[in-house]
Structure 1
Amino acid sequence: MASAAATVVPSSSSSSTKIHHGSEITSIKAFAESNGSCPIPSTYHSLTEPRDDVADHLAASIPVIDFSLLTSNDPQIHATTVQQLANACSQWGFFMLTNHGISEKLMEEVMEKSHEFHNLPLEEKEEFADKGPLTPIRHGTSFHPEAEKVHYWRDYLKVMTLPQFNFPHKPPGYKELGFEYSRKIRGVARKLLKGISESLGLEPESIIKSTGFDSGLQIFAVNLYPPCPEPDLAVGLPPHSDHGLLTLLTQNGIGGLQVKHTGKWVNVNPLPNCLIVNTGDQLEAVSNGRYKSVMHRAVLNNRDTRISLVLVNGPDLDKEIGPELGLLENEDPLFKTMKYRDYFEIQQKTRFAYKSGLDEIRKCL
Structure 2
Amino acid sequence: MAPPPTVSVSSSEPPKLHASDIGSIKAFADSNGLSPIPSSYYSIVEARDDVADHLASSIPVIDFSLLTSDHPQIHADAVSQLGKACADWGFFMVTNHGISEKLMEEVMNKAHEFHNLPVEEKKEFGDKGPWAPIRHGTSFFPQAEKVHFWRDYLKLITSPQFNFPHKPPGFKEVAYDYSRKIRAVARTLLQGISESLGLESKALEDCTGFDSGLQVFAVNLYPPCPQPELALGMPPHTDHGLLTLLYQNEIGGLQVKHDGKWVNVNPLPNCLIANVADQLEAVSNGKCKSILHRAVLNNRNTRISIPLVNGPEVEKEIGPASELLEKEEPLYKTIKYRDYFQLQQEIRFNADKGALDEIRLNRQN
Question: Which stretch of the first structure deviates more once superposed, 351-360 or 53-62?
Answer: 351-360
Q: Is the 8 A contact 2:247 2:307 kept in 1?
A: yes
**CA offsets, 1:3-48, max 9 Å, x none?**
xxxxxxxxxxx89356998962111111111111011000000011
Aligned equivalents of 2:120, 2:18: Cα separation in 1: 13
Residues 63, 95 of structure 2: 8 Å contact kept: yes
How many Å apart are 1:54 and its aligned residue?
0.6
> Which residue of 338, 354, 357 corresponds with 2:355?
357
8 Å CA contact 1:15, 1:33 repeated in 2: no
User: Is the 1:239–1:352 Cα contact (8 Å) retained in structure 2?
Assistant: no
CA distance in 1, matches of 2:147, 2:117: 26
Which position in structure 1 is the counterpart of 2:3? 16
C-alpha displacement at 1:187, in angstroms?
A: 0.2
Determine if the alignment matches structure 1 residue 278 to structure 2 residue 275.
yes
Alignment of 1:47-58 (within 5 A): 47-58=44-55
SS at match of 2:326: coil
Structure 1 gap segments, 5+ residues each: 1-13
Aligned to 1:304: 301
> Cα offset for 1:352?
4.2
Distance 1:39 1:15, change over 3 A: farther
What is the identity, as a one-letter code, of the residue corresponding to 1:238?
P
TM-score when normalising by structure 1: 0.94
Deviations 1:118-146 (A, max 9, x none): 11111111111101100000000011222
Counterpart of 1:5?
none
1:171 alignment counterpart: 168
Which residue, out of 138, 143, 152, partners 2:140?
Answer: 143
Q: Secondary structure at the match of 1:146?
A: coil
2:30 equivalent among 29, 33, 49 = 33
1:56 and 1:266 in contact (8 A); partners too: yes
The aligned length equals: 352
Deviation, 1:344, is 1.0
Query: Which residue does the alignment assign to 1:3?
Result: none
- Per-residue CA deviations over 1:85-117 (Å, capped at 9, x if unaligned) read 011000000000000000011001000101110
- Cα separation, 2, equivalents of 1:268 and 1:69: 23
Counterpart for residue 9 of structure 2: none
One-letter amino acid of the counterpart of residue 342, structure 1: D
Tell me, what secondary structure is at the counterpart of 1:116? Answer: helix
Whole-angstrom distance in 1 between the partners of 2:20 and 2:82 = 47
User: Which of residues 41, 63, 67 in structure 2 aligns to 1:66?
Assistant: 63
What residue is the counterpart of 1:192 in the other structure?
189
> Aligned equivalents of 2:175 and 2:282: distance in 1?
30
**Contact kept in structure 2, 1:278 and 1:294, CA below 8 Å:** yes
Match of 1:88? Answer: 85
**Is 1:249 the counterpart of 2:246 in the alignment?**
yes
1:85-164 to structure 2, matched below 5 A, reads 85-164=82-161
1:262-341 to 2 correspondence within 5 Å?
262-341=259-338
Q: What residue identity is the alignment partner of 1:102?
A: I
Counterparts of 1:108 and 1:128, CA distance in 2:
24
Counterpart residue type for residue 16 of structure 1: P
CA distance in 2, matches of 1:105, 1:347: 36
Q: Could you tell me whether the CA contact under 8 Å between 1:67 and 1:98 is conserved in 2?
A: yes
* CA deviation profile, 1:173-213 (whole Å, cap 9, x unmatched): 00000100000000000000000000000000000000000
- Check the 8 A contact 1:17/1:122 in 2, yes or no: no
Give the Cα separation in 2 of the matches to 1:353 and 1:180. Answer: 37
After superposition, the Cα gap between the structure-2 partners of 1:121 and 1:18, relative to the gap in structure 1 and judged at 3 Å, is farther
- Answer yes or no: is the 8 Å Cα contact 1:194–1:208 preserved in 2: yes
Distance 1:312-1:25 versus aligned 2 partners, 3 A rule: same
Q: CA deviation at 1:345?
A: 1.7
Instruction: Give distance in 1, aligned partners of 2:347 and 2:38.
Output: 23
Contact map agreement 1:96 1:270 (CA 8 A) in 2: yes
1:240, 1:353 within 8 Å by CA — same for their partners in 2?
A: no
2:247 touches 2:305 (CA, 8 Å); kept in 1?
yes
Q: Which amino acid aligns with 1:144?
A: F
Amino acid at match of 1:266: V
